[in-house]
Amino acid sequence: MVGGFDTLRTQPKDLNSPKSSEASQESGLSVDGLLILPIPNTDGEIEILKARGIPVVLINRYVERHAFDCVYSDNQFGGYELTKHPLDLGHKRIAYIDHCYTSSAARDRFSGFRKTMDEGRLFHESPDESGFPLRSNLRFVADYRSQCAKNLE
């Protein structure tokens, strides 16, 4: 307990489960507010929390249909700078690896990556079905495990 507050770590979908509700009632915990980290596909759950009147602060994401308080980094600039560095070192085959494309942070990082690649004139092939104009062997949506590294070989 810090400053009279307990910290409970959970995913938003867990807050709607009977097991989570029972645990918080048994322990006497009440929720004064939530800090929510980027978790893909949770916009609906976050909107439910807002409708219940629970204060929510989103960390490094936004929900396009509603206004929430948020602490947000410039993911587009981050994606741009992270891609620019290897380009400045002379590299041309730069892979983009992400675990999902549904979060606002992931979309913004990709936008920065794409801007850097456009400036380096490295987008020279037709876009694929997702709109990603890069050779398919340099784009991965994966879980960051060893299989992703094997795909780069």
Global pTM reads: 0.60
DSSP 111: H
Q: How far is CA 151 from the centre of its chain?
A: 23
Q: Which helix (H) or strand (E) holds 141?
A: strand 139-141
More confident of the two residues 29 and 62? 62
The two beta strands, 96-98 and 69-71, are: unpaired
What domains does the chain contain, in order, with CATH numbers? 12-71 (no CATH), 75-152 (3.40.50.2300)
Cα(81)–Cα(38) distance, integer angstroms: 21
Answer whether residue 59 shows pLDDT above 70. yes
Q: What is the pLDDT of residues 76-117, one digit of tens each?
A: 999 999 999 999 999 887 877 776 666 778 888 888 988 898
